[in-house]
Structure 1
Amino acid sequence: MNMIRVVCFAFLLVSNFSFSLEIDKNSFNDLAGSAPYFDVKISPNGEKIAVGVLINGKRGFVTLDANTLKKIGGLAPSQRTEVAEFNWATNERLIISLGTKYAWKEELTYYGELMAIDFDGTNQDYIFGYRPGPLQLGSNIKKRQASNSWGSLIDNYPENKRTVLVRTEKMSESNGRFAKAELVDIYSGKRRVVFSSPVRGAEFYLDQQGNIRLAVGVNAKFEQVAFYRNNSEEKWIQLDQNITDSNFIPLTFDSKGTSLYFLGYNGNDKLGYHKINLATGKVKEIYTDKDVDITRAILSSDGRTTIALQIDPDYPNFLIVNSKHPESKTLKHLLKTFAGYEIEFLSRSENAEKLIFKATSATDPGSFYMFNSSSKKIVKLFDILPEVKNTDLADVSAFSFSSSDGTLLHGYLTDPQAENKSPLPMVTLVHGGPHGVRDYWTFNREAQMIARLGYRVLQINYRGSSGYGYEFTKSGYREWGNKIQQDIIEATEWAIENKIADSNKICVMGGSFGAYSAVQSATIKPDLFRCVVAVAGVYDLQMMYQEGDIPDVYYGKEYLKIAIGDNAAELKKYSPVNQLNKLKAPVFLIHGEKDERAPIQQANALKKALNKHNKAHIWYVEDKEGHGFFSDLNRQKYFFEVAQFLQKNL
């Protein structure tokens, strides 16, 4: 039985939680639901489409005729084994990454198991994994010799119709494994090692001809290192670590395989687009924005050519960098057709005539489409969240302001009453991370849930967030409980000064680091916030060195030294569990008992401290959830409980 423990402690009379305004329990079911279709891939010849689909709440796939969209095959999940990912290997056969769902855990667990299957669901072969075969998915699955390794698809090797390239790691090795690249036969399961990585935890990158040319990993000092191979040589050669050390993101090789395109700093403050000659080590800067990092590179649907860049100073902007590629023209056409949307290419046919893409925006959860380059016809395949009506979603706009020390900060405002210029109740919604993460102008379930209650939602990219340059991210190191919180507080005060928020009706909410911030900011500025919602957070920074999955990673403690430091007095000062004597707002403390990133011990520590200081709070634990909500039903209940708590306090 899935148990929820919701406890109202003393210090608040039970009658205080008899909410004056009732909220329908089904008010947020559309926002809380999982996407019924989670991926779409077209076969190499363009004749079939594989669609990742939920079947009775579990992940399977169906195949459709690309012309008629009629079902021609597929695979239903078993009681415990589901489809995590899938890719076409040939026109008739797919490679499936399998996930396992345990009775005691809502999140799908992935152990690197691979299965090959024909499009109609027949000829199932378990080709890689730690078991001789998975729990039954079909009646004719062939079992293979077990391998004590994890496997993940690197490339479907279109140049070879019988094998796929798989990245493997030994399960038995300690953290920081040396990966291998192996060719795996999609019929027999036979394997052959192609290359071994020269660095722990490496990812492999291929040139346009499908040859492994690059391996990128992280060393024990939390430094990124990269090794490349010349076309004719077997040995690995390390790239200059001044290039690869900070946020080096390999993209694609040029057609000759002599140069690599990548995102990196290369001596600049902003993440830019560069090209390095592998033989000489000479780097050419192609594009760097003066204000923000490049958000992402848009690759061709085969993943082997960079065609465009996206930057997000406020709203998404796109820059074509390879106008000769046929998909560049397609991208231009789609960006014009879907003005204001983000476009993501998912797959294409080998002749590039048919392309599958996804279009999303801040006020549209998005849809999957098929584009025909010959006819220019666009066919909508599936809505990602079909129950969500775009007309019911609140407007989202960008803003910026200068903090008290002159730092320019950016954020987003979700406004259910954009035409109303009067102050409204507001929730400051803090993103997680804090490093390597930022808020974008994109669809946000929680922001839209809060806006549906009639409240404005403020999201701020505080210092330490990614996207605004290396120095901006670095300025948040060891400032978790200080300058970052000051940014969150000043953004909230900015909203009051600009008559966006009612100063007497503001709450603060967040998940993971956002939960930490919600509690910490409410202790620093106790009269600013009427309530606190903290989901899956860390509340004792010293505990992060002993509990959770970060210390288990071989570079984890080195990362913690950079991010939060190891000064005991400083960690104690910046830990909310030690600052609750200043807290005035009631806290809604929400956690998953199976959380490995922020273990339940963190929530227990905060609950104990709240009790010690006689602070009002609600304790809400989901026994089967981890770092977030993975069950639709649990997410629905979470939205409902949060809505009631906010409504009571706002």
Structure 2
Amino acid sequence: MLPLFSLCARLLPGLAIGAALAGPAFAAGAAAAADNAPVPIDAFFSNPQLEDATLSPSGRYLAAISAAPGRRDALVVLDLQDNKPRMVAGFKDADILDFEWVSDQRLLFNVSDKQTGPGGQVLSSGLYAVDRDGSAMRQLAHRRGPHEAQTPGTNINRRILSWNTFMLRQRGAQDSDRAYVVTPEFNELGEVRTVGLLQLDTRTGQTWPVKRPGPIDGWLLDNAGEPRLATHSEDGKTTIYYREKDGETWRTIAQFATYAGSKDAFTPVGFGADGTLFVLAQAGQDTASLHTYDLASGKLSPEPIVVTRGYDFTGGLVTRRGKVLGVSIETDARANVWFDKEMQAVQEAVDKQLPSTVNTISVPSQLEAQWMLVRSYSDTRPVTYRAYNAKTGAFVLVGKSRDGIDPARMGRQDPVRYKARDGREIPALLTLPAGGAKKNLPLVMLVHGGPYLRGNHWGWNPTSQFLASRGYAVLEPDFRGSRGYGQAHYRAGWKQWGLAMQDDIADGARWAIAQGYADPQRICIAGGSYGGYAALMGLVKDPDLYKCAVNYFGVTDINLLYDGHWSFKSDLQDDWRIHGMPLLVGDQVKDAAQLKATSPIEQAARITQPLLMASGAVDRRVPLYHGTKFRDAVKKHNQQVEWVVYPEEGHGWSQPATRFDFWTRVEKFLAKHIGDKAAQ
């Protein structure tokens, strides 16, 4: 079999956007990868070099965000007819954050400052539009902050919207200069009170508000690109509204408990060309499937449209204007399921030519479009974007999301299942280092945050691959409470913080020992947010199993999530705190004893193993006092505590420099306690 890059070159050489605009920096990464030295840390944790590649409505043009050393992230457009890329928007003091096609001629985009963390951002937003050739640039909304930065020229007779105006990020009509944008409104505590919807002329700046039925959290456009659904959650209930074709009348089509759910609950997915509403629903089954919803009778289709056995349906519709072609799904990996026979034939042709990767296909909106976008990846290969001509069978290489990653030096990742102590099956991902021994390895139990979401997504992951490149086996469990595996698995995690959820993680480590993958004397537990909480509780509950822990921006006291602090309010919404947390995490009054027993800060004296902790000073999800209070408590009994605060970071590391520093610290910490240095 030819290597993938050779196969693509033989089909059609193409001109990668990144290579054309970035210059020689790409060659440096490849040279580094050829060395026997460890893959550099920046190859894993730098910002992607190319992302969000998207075809125009006709399919002739492709836009993407392109990064390169020495400049800010720019918006580039590739003409697939002549294969020439063009930078159409770029700034000296801001980065392109995201974009969407308004029409085949015009694009809408937001900017942000990716070189500064949340604490230092002054110019953090701004809405613009530009033609695909870089002309007719217009600023449509102010940048946030005291120093308003405008595009050159006068603002006389110009309409500039407020800073809190953002793209909807849904495919609109794409047949004029108009697009829909959202305008979140905030209360005095900074919480979103409602989200407005405006139709915006991207050339003149004129707007037309969409009438809403009351406070709204989210909007959904129909197949024609018009607002059709609105949703709102309040007082523990979710309401779904439908907008009649007259454009003025709204009616309630469903209402159900937000967190507890009900037999009639569903989540809107999208609309077919005939107005059919596709929804995600349990419909009396353990796993959710794709159904249709009768807007007249208010009933689900008796039979599902798509069932993903053993998994909740996760994905969306793949549509062209006037037709639903298929769906995107995720089971153990992402894929397309095609209703359309021609698209199924396209998928087979693409997979035949790109056999080493998972290849998902997206299509432009116009029916006559010939080009499609192929997103290819595997466990050892970051995403590569290619345009595919369905008529000629030719590929154009658009670019790679990351360079300097040699698949041969990446660890293979396998979906596995193991049994917890009560017999529950726990899905997990196991990543082993490339080459060398596959047995008796130091193991990192990597715990996802949330916790009530799906943590595992098969494919190239910078964290697990970085750890594997340093010689560690990595096990990532989707412990009970994780979404995506049915209601029974999800509900089994309710009120199980530090209890059965924690046991599932420990049982995964013991499974890895029993299978021979892990050295029982060299196991560390690590994670961020809830994963950081689980890392701390691992040291409390299983001190003989874990030799160390890494906690980044993790919860240290469950009661602090409820009560907050006088100087810094968490950004957790009141509806979740009042109605969600008592049900899923624990009631402060009824479950007071449990919350105390399962809060790491109450058990700090029991933690004697080495611990690395990191927090962001402007984290509003798990504010800094979670870390400082726990640090002070644990250091009274444990001198093996390393602690770092990143002044401008929030709940997650937004700056590459932070990621480089943090993971360098993790590398040294693991090497000392369970790695090569520990074995000496």
Q: TM-score range by the shorter chain?
A: 0.7 to 0.9
Give the one of 74, 83, 90 matched to 2:88: 74
- In structure 1, what is the equivalent of residue 191 of structure 2? 175
Alignment of 1:134-283 (within 5 A): 135-136=148-149, 138-140=151-153, 144-147=159-162, 149-153=164-168, 155=170, 157-158=172-173, 160-171=175-186, 175-201=191-217, 203-221=218-236, 223-232=237-246, 234-241=248-255, 245=261, 248-257=266-275, 259-283=276-300
Q: Does structure 2 retain, via aligned residues, the 8 Å contact 1:610–1:616?
A: no
Q: Does 2:426 align with 1:409?
A: yes
* One-letter amino acid of the structure 2 residue matched with residue 275 of structure 1: T
Aligned CA distance change for structure 1 residues 551 and 318 (closer, same or farther; 3 Å):
closer
Q: Does structure 1 retain, via aligned residues, the 8 Å contact 2:105–2:131?
A: yes
SS across alignment from 1:645 = helix
Measure the CA separation in 1 of the matches of 2:221 and 2:609: 53
* One-letter amino acid of the structure 2 residue matched with residue 191 of structure 1: T
Q: Does 2:474 align with 1:450?
A: no
Measure the CA separation in 2 of the matches of 1:134 and 1:342: 45
- In structure 1, what is the equivalent of residue 503 of structure 2? 486
- In structure 1, what is the equivalent of residue 73 of structure 2? 59
User: Following TM superposition, by how much is the alpha carbon of 1:252 offset from its aligned partner in structure 2, in angstroms?
Assistant: 2.2
Q: Does structure 1 retain, via aligned residues, the 8 Å contact 2:374–2:386?
A: yes
The alignment's TM-score, normalised by the length of structure 1, stands at: 0.88
* One-letter amino acid of the structure 1 residue matched with residue 452 of structure 2: H
SS across alignment from 2:210 = strand
Q: Does structure 1 retain, via aligned residues, the 8 Å contact 2:318–2:362?
A: no
Measure the CA separation in 1 of the matches of 2:538 and 2:166: 43
User: Following TM superposition, by how much is the alpha carbon of 1:320 offset from its aligned partner in structure 2, in angstroms?
Assistant: 2.3
- In structure 1, what is the equivalent of residue 319 of structure 2? 300
* One-letter amino acid of the structure 1 residue matched with residue 454 of structure 2: V
Give the one of 104, 127, 134 matched to 1:121: 134
| 1:74-123 residue CA offsets vs partner (Å, 9 max, x unmatched) | 111231x3321112223332111222468564787897642112233332
Aligned CA distance change for structure 1 residues 533 and 503 (closer, same or farther; 3 Å):
same
SS across alignment from 1:287 = coil
Cα RMSD of the aligned pairs, angstroms, is: 3.0
Say which is worse superposed, 59-68 or 341-350, in terms of deviation. 341-350
User: Following TM superposition, by how much is the alpha carbon of 1:585 offset from its aligned partner in structure 2, in angstroms?
Assistant: 1.5
Measure the CA separation in 1 of the matches of 2:41 and 2:478: 26
SS across alignment from 2:57 = coil
Alignment of 1:467-616 (within 5 A): 467-547=484-564, 549-565=570-586, 566=588, 567-616=591-640
Measure the CA separation in 2 of the matches of 1:509 and 1:134: 40
| 1:194-240 residue CA offsets vs partner (Å, 9 max, x unmatched) | 33144431x2222222332211232231x332111333473222223
User: Following TM superposition, by how much is the alpha carbon of 1:150 offset from its aligned partner in structure 2, in angstroms?
Assistant: 3.2
SS across alignment from 2:488 = helix
Q: Does 2:107 align with 1:94?
A: yes
SS across alignment from 1:357 = strand
The alignment's TM-score, normalised by the length of structure 2, stands at: 0.84
Say which is worse superposed, 150-159 or 225-234, in terms of deviation. 150-159
Return 5+ residue gaps in structure 2 as ranges: 1-35, 675-680
User: Following TM superposition, by how much is the alpha carbon of 1:169 offset from its aligned partner in structure 2, in angstroms?
Assistant: 2.8
Measure the CA separation in 2 of the matches of 1:112 and 1:307: 35
* One-letter amino acid of the structure 1 residue matched with residue 167 of structure 2: S
User: Following TM superposition, by how much is the alpha carbon of 1:508 offset from its aligned partner in structure 2, in angstroms?
Assistant: 0.9
User: Following TM superposition, by how much is the alpha carbon of 1:641 offset from its aligned partner in structure 2, in angstroms?
Assistant: 1.3
| 1:10-63 residue CA offsets vs partner (Å, 9 max, x unmatched) | xxxxxxxxxxxxx98973221121111122233334443322112535322122
Q: Does structure 2 retain, via aligned residues, the 8 Å contact 1:540–1:605?
A: no
Q: Does structure 1 retain, via aligned residues, the 8 Å contact 2:540–2:606?
A: yes
SS across alignment from 2:421 = coil
Aligned CA distance change for structure 1 residues 138 and 121 (closer, same or farther; 3 Å):
farther
User: Following TM superposition, by how much is the alpha carbon of 1:176 offset from its aligned partner in structure 2, in angstroms?
Assistant: 4.4
Measure the CA separation in 2 of the matches of 1:643 and 1:212: 49
SS across alignment from 2:545 = coil
SS across alignment from 2:314 = strand
| 1:439-470 residue CA offsets vs partner (Å, 9 max, x unmatched) | 12222211111111112111111101111111
Aligned CA distance change for structure 1 residues 337 and 431 (closer, same or farther; 3 Å):
farther
Aligned CA distance change for structure 1 residues 298 and 396 (closer, same or farther; 3 Å):
farther
* One-letter amino acid of the structure 1 residue matched with residue 268 of structure 2: P
* One-letter amino acid of the structure 1 residue matched with residue 269 of structure 2: L
Measure the CA separation in 1 of the matches of 2:660 and 2:451: 26
Say which is worse superposed, 417-426 or 376-385, in terms of deviation. 417-426
| 1:372-392 residue CA offsets vs partner (Å, 9 max, x unmatched) | 111111222111111211111
Say which is worse superposed, 591-600 or 157-166, in terms of deviation. 157-166
| 1:418-447 residue CA offsets vs partner (Å, 9 max, x unmatched) | 773531111111111110232122222111
Q: Does 2:134 align with 1:83?
A: no
Tell me the matched-pair count. 621
Aligned CA distance change for structure 1 residues 139 and 129 (closer, same or farther; 3 Å):
closer
Measure the CA separation in 2 of the matches of 1:287 and 1:92: 36
SS across alignment from 1:294 = coil
Q: Does structure 2 retain, via aligned residues, the 8 Å contact 1:253–1:304?
A: no
User: Following TM superposition, by how much is the alpha carbon of 1:260 offset from its aligned partner in structure 2, in angstroms?
Assistant: 0.7
Return 5+ residue gaps in structure 1 as ranges: 1-22
SS across alignment from 1:144 = coil
Aligned CA distance change for structure 1 residues 282 and 405 (closer, same or farther; 3 Å):
same
User: Following TM superposition, by how much is the alpha carbon of 1:172 offset from its aligned partner in structure 2, in angstroms?
Assistant: 5.7
- In structure 2, what is the equivalent of residue 291 of structure 1? 310
Measure the CA separation in 1 of the matches of 2:550 and 2:106: 47
Aligned CA distance change for structure 1 residues 151 and 536 (closer, same or farther; 3 Å):
same
- In structure 2, what is the equivalent of residue 434 of structure 1? 451
Q: Does 2:35 align with 1:27?
A: no
Q: Does structure 1 retain, via aligned residues, the 8 Å contact 2:117–2:654?
A: no
Say which is worse superposed, 231-240 or 211-220, in terms of deviation. 231-240
Aligned CA distance change for structure 1 residues 107 and 295 (closer, same or farther; 3 Å):
farther
| 1:315-370 residue CA offsets vs partner (Å, 9 max, x unmatched) | 3264625225x545434433454447444445526322112232222211111111
User: Following TM superposition, by how much is the alpha carbon of 1:568 offset from its aligned partner in structure 2, in angstroms?
Assistant: 2.6
SS across alignment from 1:633 = helix
- In structure 1, what is the equivalent of residue 387 of structure 2? 370
- In structure 2, what is the equivalent of residue 44 of structure 1? 57
SS across alignment from 1:188 = coil
Greater percentage in strand: 1
- In structure 2, what is the equivalent of residue 11 of structure 1? none
Q: Does structure 1 retain, via aligned residues, the 8 Å contact 2:430–2:473?
A: yes
Aligned CA distance change for structure 1 residues 170 and 629 (closer, same or farther; 3 Å):
closer
Aligned CA distance change for structure 1 residues 182 and 416 (closer, same or farther; 3 Å):
same
